[in-house]
Amino acid sequence: MTPQLHDLPSQVRRDILRMVHAVQSGHPGGSMGCTEFFVALYFDILRHTPAPFNMDGQGEDLFFLSNGHISPVFYSVLARSGYFSVEELNTFRKLDSRLQGHPTTHEGLPGVRIASGSLGQGLSVAVGAAQAKKLAGDDRLVFTLHGDGELQEGQIWEAALYAGAKNVDNLISTIDANGQQIDGSTDEVMPMGDIGSKFAAFGWEVMHIQQGNDLDAVRNGLRDAIAKTGKGKPVCVVMHTSMGHGVDFMAGTHKWHGIAPSDEQLEAALAQLPETLGDYPA
Amino acid sequence: MHSYTDSGSKDTRSGFGAGLLELGRSNPNVVALCADLTGSLKMDAFAAEFPERFFQTGIAEAHMIGMAAGLTIGGKIPFTGTFANFSTGRVYDQIRQSVAYSGKNVKICASHAGLTLGEDGATHQILEDIGLMKMLPGMTVISPCDFNQTKAATIAIAEHDGPVYLRFGRPKVPNFTPADRPFVIGKADVLTEGSDVTICANGHLVWEALEAANALEAKGIKAEVINFATIKPLDVDTLLASVGKTGRVVTAEEHQRHGGLGDSIAQALAMHRPTPMEMVAVNDSFGESGTPAQLLTKYGLDAANIVAAAERVLQR
């Protein structure tokens, strides 16, 4: 563990809020709920080479963000792990930026291997990448993240069926189970039932991370998931998080799914988040 | 009379299957995916010879497209196979985001395109696929005319770095282009030289256009038939060179008038050389069950309709 690891979530949340505030658009809620996951993944779990970035990623673990709207946390962690400069975060959602509203390969941003935004497509892409690794004799792993609401897309279940049936066991898919989506709670919009049981029925090895906003719990959970790979089944991690975690007035509600904080709200939020590694210059 | 002879009718989908098998042997990076239509797409020989490089996805076309995009990450060259309807309309957003916008080197190979699918009827007879695909930035769109050209195009697209839509069909049709002629993406082929009217055709209607040229010649009209197998990028130079001689254009295709070869040609002519033009295409309707020949006649796509269009454009 690097000394900075536990300093990162607070800084990443500051990045998220400042990026979204600057352009008064973007998706802070899900980003903040998944901050510990991204920090654990990029600073502890993934075996990866941030620079020079290689699209094919042979010999590296790969990550695909399927719920692309939480781009702020993705960009912050990519920058802070060395894929591109932290200063570039101030271009988020602005004209001529590589940091598009939703992640894309189109402008050549290092660290992004597929466009996402239209939901439900990332699991299929990850299955393809995982199969490519098997064909190449590459024993590294493929990770994905999905929203729980995203699981309402039918393509997810096409991909889940394939991965289970065809023993894609070099794949770890994490579900951000925050119980929220744009129109309200998932229970109000489209109750998801038992997500873990659904994946298990599709032939996946299923485990839970109950404390998805506890960095060490996420790290340990992902290690457990890695230990379950290579045994004939893809691995599904149901990770229980709180949308908007880290700022008291943003946590646990769908209301901050796609809303930017005002000047006053930003100030109040940043007051709850120590600047640990230094803010990127505005 | 045109000098092309049918060396024995074959289906264009078998040209795809033959090309794919050859690619399997020559290029270890080529992989194939199919959504439960392996026999219909003639992919069974590839699947049998290269089982580790063949991915049966089941009836899950959206997943197949996404998985193909993922297989490119690591350097594979995926060829997806299903019917044209399920290759495009059903999975448009997957192609748009995971393939085209992401710049992935996926070859979307589509059989049973157009009316000549025949008896299955309109649910399967997509007539909008070329329009859907050509609107996507960076997408190359190809509709070859016979077995030999489909095989050659299949081989050629593996060498092209970028997404490609390759469209072909179900019925046996005349096989008349040279067997070993390499396919050049973006190059139209002048099949007959003529000075009175340019006939731009692709897919199954190229043979109909050649038959039409014979009938026109009997009436003293010299038609220049050009095979526009590549719709995008369009070979504007070849088009303008021909129209410079003839001053009259007919387009012929097994597709909706909206969005097909005809409107690509019309756009090019409107910009570079406004020219009287007639379009032989399906006019804003769905198809129906019937034999391929019956359907081409009923929907106005056969040689007789190309002749009539040429005569109309010559009177303008």
Closest partner CB to A115 (pick from B58, B67, B97) = B97
Interior/surface letters B64-79, b for 16+ CB within 10 angstroms, e for the rest: bbbbbbbbbbbebbbb
Tell me the C-alpha distance between A40 and A42, whole Å. 6
- On whether any CB of chain B is under 8 Å from the CB of A236, the answer is no
Answer yes or no: B128 catalytic: no
Interior/surface letters B140-157, b for 16+ CB within 10 angstroms, e for the rest: bbbbbbbbbbbbbbbbbb
Residue B174 token pair = 């005349």
Per-residue pLDDT at A163 exceeds 80:
yes
Which residues pair with residue B280 across a beta bridge? B252
Interface test with A, best of B97, B101, B104, B105 (most A CBs within 10 A): B97
Q: Where are the domains of chain A?
A: 5-270
Tell me the C-alpha distance between B2 and B22, whole Å. 31
Query: Which pLDDT score, from 0 to 100, does residue B1 have?
Result: 75
Judged by DSSP in three states, A25 sits in coil
Which residues pair with residue B167 across a beta bridge? B110
CATH architecture of B189-314: 3-Layer(aba) Sandwich (3.40)
* For residue A52, cis peptide bond before it (omega within 30 degrees of 0): yes
Tell me the C-alpha distance between A124 and B70, whole Å. 7
Whether residue B48 contacts residue A98, with contact meaning beta carbons closer than 8 Å, is answered with no
Query: Which pLDDT score, from 0 to 100, does residue B3 have?
Result: 84
- Do A124 and B94 make contact, defined as CB atoms within 8 angstroms? yes
B10-173: CATH, from 3.40.50.720, 3.40.50.2300, 3.40.50.970, 3.50.50.60: 3.40.50.970
From B22, B49, B52, B61, active-site residue: B61
Query: Which pLDDT score, from 0 to 100, does residue A29 have?
Result: 96
Interface of B with A (CB under 8 A): 31, 52-53, 55, 57-58, 60, 62-76, 78, 93-94, 96-98, 101-104
Report the residue of chain A nearest B74, measured CA to CA.
A56
CB atoms within 10 A of CB A196: 17
Please compute, for residue B276, the number of CA atoms within 13 A of its CA located in the half-sphere on the CB side.
13
Query: Which pLDDT score, from 0 to 100, does residue A2 have?
Result: 54
Q: Which residues of B touch A139 (CB under 8 A)?
A: none
Looking up tokens 């839970």, which residue turns up?
A208
- Backbone φ, ψ for residue B63 (5° rounding): -65, -40
Mean pLDDT for all residues in chain A: 97
Question: Which numeric CATH code is attached to A5-270?
Answer: 3.40.50.970
Instruction: Report the run of H or E that residue B242 belongs to, with start and end.
Output: helix B236-246
Residues with Cβ within 8 Å of residue B1, at least 6 apart in sequence: B214, B217
Query: Which pLDDT score, from 0 to 100, does residue A4 have?
Result: 85
Q: Where are the domains of chain B?
A: 10-173, 189-314
Whether residue A142 contacts residue A207, with contact meaning beta carbons closer than 8 Å, is answered with no
- On whether any CB of chain B is under 8 Å from the CB of A119, the answer is no
Query: Which pLDDT score, from 0 to 100, does residue A180 have?
Result: 95
Give tens-digit pLDDT for A40-95. Answer: 999 999 999 999 999 999 999 999 999 999 999 999 999 999 999 999 999 999 99
Specify the pairing of strand B189-192 against strand B54-56: unpaired
Phi-psi region of B151 (alpha: psi -120 to 50; beta: other; left: phi over 0): alpha
- Do B66 and A124 make contact, defined as CB atoms within 8 angstroms? yes
Per-residue pLDDT at A1 exceeds 70:
no
Give tens-digit pLDDT for A205-250. Answer: 999 999 999 999 999 999 999 999 999 999 999 999 999 999 999 9
Fold: same for B10-173 and B189-314? yes
Tell me the C-alpha distance between B6 and B4, whole Å. 7
* Pairs across A and B, CB distance < 8 A: 119
Tell me the C-alpha distance between A43 and A2, whole Å. 8
Tell me the C-alpha distance between A131 and B222, whole Å. 55
Please compute, for residue A59, the number of CA atoms within 13 A of its CA located in the half-sphere on the CB side.
4
**Shortest Cα–Cα distance, A86 to chain B (Å):** 24
- Do A133 and B66 make contact, defined as CB atoms within 8 angstroms? no
**Shortest Cα–Cα distance, B152 to chain A (Å):** 26
* ipTM of the complex, rounded to two decimals: 0.97
Tell me the C-alpha distance between A128 and B73, whole Å. 8
Please compute the mean of the pLDDT values over residues A128-134 and round it to a whole number. 98
Residue B141 token pair = 């769109």
Closest partner CB to B102 (pick from A114, A124, A133) = A114
Whether residue B206 contacts residue B227, with contact meaning beta carbons closer than 8 Å, is answered with yes
Q: How far is CA A232 from CA A29, B4, B300, in A?
A: 35, 56, 55
Q: Which residues of A touch B78 (CB under 8 A)?
A: 128
Angle, vertex CA A181, rays to CA A179 and CA A184, nearest 5: 90
Judged by DSSP in three states, A100 sits in coil
pLDDT digits (tens), chain B, 316 positions: 788 999 999 999 999 999 999 999 999 999 999 999 999 999 999 999 999 999 999 999 999 999 999 999 999 999 999 999 999 999 999 999 999 999 999 999 999 999 999 999 999 999 999 999 999 999 999 999 999 999 999 999 999 999 999 999 999 999 999 998 999 999 999 999 999 999 999 999 999 999 999 999 999 999 999 999 999 999 999 999 999 999 999 999 999 999 999 999 999 999 999 999 999 999 999 999 999 999 999 999 999 999 999 999 999 9
What is the pTM for the complete model shown?
Answer: 0.97
Looking up tokens 């710049």, which residue turns up?
B103
Q: How far is CA B69 from CA A98, A113, A121, A190, B260, in A?
A: 21, 10, 10, 29, 26
Q: Which residues of B touch A67 (CB under 8 A)?
A: none
